[in-house]
Every structure is written in structure tokens, then in C-alpha cells.
Structure 1
Amino acid sequence: MTGLRIELRRSTALWAGLLVLVSGGGMLWLITSEGSLWKGNSTSALLELRLPIAYVWALVVGLATLQGMRDSRAGVTELFATTAKPTWKRLGTLAGSVAGVVAVATALLCAGLVARVVFHGGFVSIGFVPLALTAILALASSTLLGLAIGRLLPHPLTVPVALVATFMVATTGGRALEVRSPGDEISALALLTPVMNPPSSDLVTTSTSVDLGQLAWFTGLGATAFLLLVARGLLGRLAALVPAGLALALALSIMPTKYSDVLVPDSIASKLVCDDDVCVGQVHADRLPAVAEAGKAALAKLAVLPGAPKAVHEDTSAMAHLTAPQRSQQIVYLKTTGYPRTLAMSADEIRLELLSGAGVASCDAPNSFNTFEGTVRYITAGYFNGDLAKLASEPLMWTNGQLRGEIDQTWQRFRAQPAGEQLARITEVRRMMLACEDAERMVDVLKAGR
């Protein structure tokens, strides 16, 4: 314990811990907005940390590399080699102090994020634990690797090269996980870094295969780093590579190669809670009263349709932030990803969103824009509402003169038809929406163009 106290006082251990807390917290504050989703779910909070951890990771490795060069810079390498105290014990104390403080600081950073979620009245579950363990193990093992690199390569350029190389690996790995569709192939090597752009959904988490693969890899990396740090001869250093090699083989064998297998529904946060036939994910249970009010009103209006839907469910699928929402004849799916946020709307605005498309969600991916489908959604919502009204999800079409003119013209031609014909055309458009047929043809149907 005496040696540990000395190392804590004379090494960079405490500075490394402070670096994790300040840089991690500071970067997260700089890159996220006040309305970020992560404040509502502890799992999302830990996923949000995966982006700034790229900077923290590089800084910690650089500082650990500098610390690993201490004996060489002080010119006492040969002197310590002649002492009776085993090398592994002396360097193990150093490694334990620096890596231990980094691990504790990372745990405190994760705990602080969870506390922030609690403070904001958000949803907390044990789903954040694997993500926190991965972050802790990743930074601790990388700290050991930095110490080993500094001891083995005591050159003035070693520290900047280690820092820049770590940052480049982190950013490259993060970019390799940027995809446009769930079926995109990814490199399993990219998952060997703890870096990931957080998804714009608070209903998902990383899959078990990703968590286990990363934990296995960083455990093996830490073991190899420690053995390299204390090894004396060439044979010992070669043997030290075995744990990392085995961990790499294990990790790559279980890591997914499709993005749709990287993120999965958070089984706790996405569990449906219901008020009669209206359901939302458990993480959004606080919005259930407003959604239930809107959903029941919408179902009552949609009841005039043949084969009318019987329930309203939030779309809790893992890839809802990348693809069009689910569509079903029996269920009206509420899209809660993308902007503007549906769950932040009033009950009346949510009701209009559910009525638009005749109870069928958009065929377009989130944050996309299709003027023909927008027109269809306005007309169908207006039919059930009794008159046109602004859709919070399509404000541009309501305020733009040309687009608003197209909506008004379509509405007038639609309303000029007999009541029975109007219902028939709304029913036909609903069928087309379920099949995701051409939106321009849907507008023609509403205009009685065919």
C-alpha cells in the first residue's frame, strides 16, 4: 500500500483521472444540445459517451505513454534492473495506480451521466451496465498499453505518435460505423474501438455480441499490455502477445458484420406500456396520457374505414431511426424518431399525425422530404379532422406559398366529390400507403384524376 500511495502522488495517475473526467464531460457538453435524447434514458447516455471517448482515449494513451518513459528519462533503467525487487511487482504498482485511477474516473463519469438522467426525471435501467463496463475496460487497458509503449520505445516522438495514432484509429473506427441503411455491411475491426456515433433513438442499445466481443478484446489487450510492460527479454515479449491474439480471434468470431446486428431494441426501454389499445415504449411512459388521448381519438375517427386499425403503438424497432416506420393494417404506428420529435407535440398535434396517411406511417426514411406524400398526408388528415390543419411534422408545406397552394387545390378537388366517393378514395390511398406505392399517383387518386 505504501508503494501505491507513492505512485499515486508521484506518477501521472491522478492527472490521468482528472483528464478523463474533464475532457470526457467537457466534450460531451460541447457536442450535445440541451434537448438531446440521452438525458431521458441511462442507456442512451452511455451510448452518447461513445463519441467524445475518441478524444479521451487518445489523451489517456498519450499521457500513459509519457509515464511509461519515466525510468528511461530519469536514467535509472539499469539501476532498477539490478535491484532484488521483481520488475513485475515494481511496475505492477505503477500500472495499478495509473490504470486504476483511470478506471475509477471513467466509472465516475458514467455514474455522473446516469445521475444527470435521474436529475432530469429520465428512465434508468440496468441496460447501461454493459456499456459502462466496456468504457471502463477500454480506457484502463489502453492506459496499460500506453505504459508498455512508453517503456519499450522511450523516444521523444513516441508520445505524439501514440496520441495521434490512437485518435486516428478511433475516428476511423467511428466513421466505419456510419451507414445509410440497416443492411449495410460493416467491418468487425471497427468494433474493436469503443467509439461510435450515438443513434438518434433512445430505444436501442448495442447487441450482446458487440458487448461480449468488446469486453473480450479489451480484456486480452489489457493482459498483453501488462505482460509487455513487465517483460524483460524478447521471448517474454513475444509470449505477451498471446492474450491479445486469442482475444482478437474470439472477438472477431462473434462480432456482427451488418449494422442491423450492432444495434438492437433495448428490451427494457422499448417494452410496451399501454392504456387500452394505445401503447408506447416504457422509456416514454410519462407521455402515455397524451398519446393515449390522441390515439383513442384517432382510432375513433379511423373506424369508418373498411378493416379499420384497432390499436396505436409506438414504433420501437431498432432501426426506426434509419428506415421508414413500420406499417400495418391493424396497428397505427407512431414514429418517434427524427425531428420534430412527435412525443414533444401536444395531444392534438399527435392526433393529426396519427390521422395523416389514413393511419399509415410514412414510406420515407426519417428526416426525408417528399412533397407528394406530404400533400397526401395533409389531405387524409384533413378528411378525418373535418378541415385542413397544420401538421407539426410537415411545417414547411404549410408555410410555403407554392406547396400550400398545391395542398389547397388538391383539397378543393377532393372535397368536391360526393361523401361516399371521398371515403372510397381515402380507402384506396390507405391501401397504396400500406404498399408504399408512388406518392404522385396517390395525389391523382385524391384529385379524382382516375
Structure 2
Amino acid sequence: MTALRIELRRSTALWAGLLVLVSGTGMLALVMSSGVRWTGNSTSAVLGLRLPLAYVWALVVGLAVFQGMRDSRARVTELFDATSRPGWVRLGTLASAVAGVVAVATALLCAGLVANVALGGGFVSAGFVPLLVTVVLALASSVLLGLAVGRLLPHPLTAPVALVATFMVATTAGRALEVTTPGDEISPLALLTPVMDAPSSDLVTTSASVDLGQIAWFTGLGVTAFLLLVARTHLGRLAALVPAGLAVVLALSIMPVKYSDVLVADSIASRLVCEGKVCLSQAHSDDLPRTAAVGRDVLAKLAVLPDAPTEIREDTSAMAHLTAPQRDQKTVYVRSQGHPRVLTMTDDQLRLELLSGAGVAGCSGPNSFNTYEGVVRYLTAGYFNGELAELASEPLMWNSDRLRAQIDQAWQQFRGQSAQEQLNRVARARQMLLTCQDSERVLDVLKASR
């Protein structure tokens, strides 16, 4: 313990821990905007740390490499090699000090995120624990690798090169995990880094295969790094590579190749909680009383339709932030993920949103724009509302003179029909939306063009 206390004082261990806390907090403040809902779920909060981890990871590795060159810079390598005390004991103490402090600092950073969620009234569950373990292992093993590299390559350029190389690997891996559809394939090699852009959802987490693969890889990497640090012979250094080699083979055999297998629904946060015929995820259960009141009104208005929907449920599927919402004849789905988030809307906005499409969401995916589909949503919402009103999810169409004129013209054509014909047209449009038929044809049905 005395040797450990000495290393804590004379090494960069405490500075490395402070670097993790300060740089991690600073990058979170820069990367995360106040408008995102990642603070609503502890699992999402810890997952949100993965993006700024690219910067923290590089800084910590660079500092560890610099620390690893201590004996060479002080020109005492041969002196320590000549002492009777085993070298692995002294180096093990140094490794324990630096890696241990970084691990504790990383755990404190994650704990701070969870505490922030709890203090803000968000949803806290044990779902964040695998993510915390992975991040702690990633930084601790990277520190050990940095110490080993610094000891083996004591050159003035080693530390800056290691820092830049780590950052480049992190950013490259992050870009490799950027996809547009759930079916996109990814390279499992990208999952060998702890970096990942947090998804626009607070109901997902990494899959068990990703967690187990990363834990196996970073554990093997840490063992190899420590053995490299204390090895004195070339044969010993070659043997030290075996744990990392076995770990990478095991990890790559576990890692998924499709993005839809990388992220899965958070089984705790996405569990449905119901009030009558309205159900929301457990993470959003605070919004349930308000949503249930609006939902009952929506179901009552939609009851005039043949085969009307009978329940309202939140779309908690893992890929809801990348795909068009689910659709079912008996269910009106609440789209809480992606943008815009309907649960943040006012009661009137939420009511119109659920009524649009006659209770059926649009067929376009996130971040896409379809004029015909937008007009259909305005007309169907206006039918149940009694008049046209702005949809919070389609403000561009409402505020554009050209598009607003198109909506008004279609509305006049629709309202020029008899009350029964309007109902029949809306019911027919709903059936077409359920099967995602061409949106221009759906609009023609409402306007009585065909």
C-alpha cells in the first residue's frame, strides 16, 4: 500500500483521473444539446457518453504513453533492472495506480450521469450497468496499453502519435457505425472501440452480443498490455500478444454485422405501462395520465370509422428512430423516438398528431419529406378536428405560402363533398395508409379525384 500511495503522488495517475472527469464533462456539455431527451433514462445517459469518449479516450492514451516513458526519460531503466526487486512488482504498482484511478474516474463520470437523471426526475434502472462496465474496461485497458507502448517505444514523438492515432481510430469507427436504415451492414471491427454515436432514442441500448464482445476484447487487451509492460524478453513480448489475439477472435465471432442487431430495445425502459386502452413505455410513464386523457378523446373521434382502432400504444421498437412508425388496424401508435417527439407536444398538438392519417402514421421514414403525404395528414386531422390546424410535426408546410395554398385547395375540394362521402373517403384513405399505398393516390381519394 505504501508503494501504491507513492505512485499516486509521483505519477500522473491523479492527473489522468482528473482529465477523464473534466474532459468527459466538458465534451458532454458541448456535444449534448439541451433539447435531447437522453437525460430521461439512465441507460441512454451512459450510452450518450460514447460519442465524447472519442476525445477522452485519445487524451488518456496519450497521457499514459507519456507516463510509460518515465524511466527512460529519467535514464534509470538499467538501474531498476539491476535491483533485486522484481520489475513486474514495481511496474504493476504503477499500472494499478494509473489504470485504477482512471477506472474510478470513469465510473464516477457514469455515476454522475445517472445521478443527474435521477435528480431530474428521469427513469433510472440497472440497464446502464453493462454500458458502465464496458466503458470502464475500455479506458483502463487503454491506459495499460499506453503505459506499455511508452515503455517499449520511449521516443518524444510516441505520445503525440499515440494520441492522434487513437483519435483517428475512434472517429473512423464512429463513422463506420453511421447508418441510414436498420438493415445496413457494419464492420464488427468498428465495435472494437468504445465509441458510438448515441441514437436519437431513449428506449434502446446495446445488445448483449455487443456488450459481451467488447468486454471480452477489452479484458484481453488489458491482459496483453500488462504483460507487454512487464515483459523483459522478446519471447515474453510475443507471448503477451496471445490474450489479445484470442480476445479479438472471440469478440469478432460474437459481434453482429447488421446495425439492427447492434441496438435493441431496453427491456426495462420500453416495458409498457397502461391506463385503460392507452399504453406508454415505463421510461415515459410520467406522461401517461396526460396522454391517456388525450388518447380517450382520440379513440372516441376515430370510433366513427369502420374497423376503428381500439387502443393507443407507444412505438417502442428498437429501430423506431430509423424507420417509419408501426401500423396496425386496431392500434394508434405514439411516435416518441426520433424527431419530432410527440410526447413533448401540448395536448392539442398531440391530439391532432394522433388524429392525422385517421390514426395511421405516415409511411415516410425519419428525416424525409413527402408533400402529398403531408397534405393527407392535414386533411385527415382537419376532418376530425372540424377545421384545419397546424401539425407540430409538419410546421414547414403550414408556414410555406405555396404549400399552405395546396393544403387549402385540397381542403376545399374535400369539404365540398357530403358528410357521408367525407367519412367514406377518410375510411378508404385510412385503409390505403395501413398498406402504405402511394401517397398521391391517397390524396386523390380524399379530393374525390378518383
Name the TM tier (shorter chain).
Answer: over 0.9
Which residue number corresponds to residue 155 of structure 1?
155
Which residue number corresponds to residue 239 of structure 1?
239
Matches within 5 A, 1:148-187: 148-187=148-187
Which residue number corresponds to residue 38 of structure 1?
38
Which residue number corresponds to residue 259 of structure 1?
259
Q: Decide whether the 8 Å contact of 2:271 with 2:282 is kept in 1.
A: yes
Which residue number corresponds to residue 2 of structure 1?
2
How far apart, in 2, do the equivalents of 1:339 and 1:205 lie? 18
Q: Which moved more, 1:137-146 or 1:409-418?
A: 409-418
Q: Which moved more, 1:222-231 or 1:362-371?
A: 362-371
Query: Displacement of 1:385 after TM fit?
Result: 1.3
Aligned residue type for 2:140: A
Aligned residue type for 1:112: G
Q: Provide, for residues 25-48 of structure 1, a one-character-per-residue CA deviation record: whole Å limited to 9, x for no partner.
A: 000001111122111110010111
Aligned residue type for 1:123: F
Query: Displacement of 1:368 after TM fit?
Result: 1.8
Matches within 5 A, 1:65-84: 65-84=65-84
Which residue number corresponds to residue 56 of structure 1?
56
Aligned residue type for 1:138: A
Aligned residue type for 2:19: L
Query: Displacement of 1:341 after TM fit?
Result: 2.1
Q: Provide, for residues 249-285 of structure 1, a one-character-per-residue CA deviation record: whole Å limited to 9, x for no partner.
A: 1100010000000000000000001111101111001
Which residue number corresponds to residue 15 of structure 1?
15
Query: Displacement of 1:339 after TM fit?
Result: 2.7
Q: Decide whether the 8 Å contact of 1:200 with 1:337 is kept in 2.
A: yes
SS in 1 for 2:411: helix
Q: Which moved more, 1:440-449 or 1:224-233?
A: 440-449
Q: Decide whether the 8 Å contact of 2:320 with 2:338 is kept in 1.
A: no
Which residue number corresponds to residue 302 of structure 1?
302
Query: Displacement of 1:340 after TM fit?
Result: 2.9
Which residue number corresponds to residue 221 of structure 1?
221
Q: Decide whether the 8 Å contact of 2:213 with 2:250 is kept in 1.
A: yes
Query: Displacement of 1:419 after TM fit?
Result: 1.5
Q: Decide whether the 8 Å contact of 2:39 with 2:122 is kept in 1.
A: yes
Aligned residue type for 1:174: G
Aligned residue type for 2:40: G
SS in 1 for 2:333: strand
Matches within 5 A, 1:366-445: 366-445=366-445
Which residue number corresponds to residue 278 of structure 2?
278
How far apart, in 2, do the equivalents of 1:327 and 1:255 lie? 31
Q: Which runs of 5+ in 1 are unaligned?
A: none
Which residue number corresponds to residue 201 of structure 2?
201
Query: Displacement of 1:59 after TM fit?
Result: 0.4
Which residue number corresponds to residue 341 of structure 2?
341
Q: Provide, for residues 81-112 of structure 1, a one-character-per-residue CA deviation record: whole Å limited to 9, x for no partner.
A: 11110011010000000000000000010001
How far apart, in 2, do the equivalents of 1:341 and 1:330 lie? 22
Q: Decide whether the 8 Å contact of 1:426 with 1:446 is kept in 2.
A: yes
Query: Displacement of 1:412 after TM fit?
Result: 1.0
Aligned residue type for 1:31: V
How far apart, in 2, do the equivalents of 1:218 and 1:361 lie? 43
Q: Decide whether the 8 Å contact of 1:337 with 1:366 is kept in 2.
A: no
Query: Displacement of 1:113 after TM fit?
Result: 0.5
User: Percent sequence identity over matched residues?
Assistant: 74
Query: What's the TM-score, normalizing by structure 1?
Result: 0.99
**Does 2:66 align with 1:91?**
no
How far apart, in 2, do the equivalents of 1:362 and 1:337 lie? 14
Which residue number corresponds to residue 28 of structure 2?
28
Query: Displacement of 1:355 after TM fit?
Result: 0.6
Q: Decide whether the 8 Å contact of 2:188 with 2:255 is kept in 1.
A: yes
SS in 2 for 1:267: coil
Give the count of matched residue pairs. 450
How far apart, in 1, do the equivalents of 2:434 and 2:246 lie? 49
Q: Decide whether the 8 Å contact of 1:294 with 1:351 is kept in 2.
A: yes
CA RMSD of aligned residues (A): 0.8
Which residue number corresponds to residue 356 of structure 1?
356
Q: Provide, for residues 142-193 of structure 1, a one-character-per-residue CA deviation record: whole Å limited to 9, x for no partner.
A: 0000000000011111111111111111111111000000000000000000
**Does 2:124 align with 1:124?**
yes
Which residue number corresponds to residue 317 of structure 2?
317
Q: Decide whether the 8 Å contact of 1:290 with 1:346 is kept in 2.
A: no
How far apart, in 2, do the equivalents of 1:34 and 1:136 lie? 26
Query: Displacement of 1:377 after TM fit?
Result: 0.3
How far apart, in 1, do the equivalents of 2:289 and 2:341 lie? 17
Q: Which moved more, 1:285-294 or 1:190-199?
A: 285-294
How far apart, in 2, do the equivalents of 1:393 and 1:53 lie? 33
Which residue number corresponds to residue 146 of structure 2?
146
Q: Provide, for residues 288-314 of structure 1, a one-character-per-residue CA deviation record: whole Å limited to 9, x for no partner.
A: 111111111111111111111110001
Aligned residue type for 2:193: T
Q: Which moved more, 1:362-371 or 1:276-285?
A: 362-371
How far apart, in 2, do the equivalents of 1:275 and 1:76 lie? 71
Query: Displacement of 1:338 after TM fit?
Result: 2.7
**Does 2:212 align with 1:212?**
yes
How far apart, in 2, do the equivalents of 1:275 and 1:387 lie? 29
How far apart, in 1, do the equivalents of 2:438 and 2:143 lie? 55
Query: What's the TM-score, normalizing by structure 2?
Result: 0.99
SS in 2 for 1:49: helix
Q: Which moved more, 1:359-368 or 1:91-100?
A: 359-368
SS in 1 for 2:50: coil
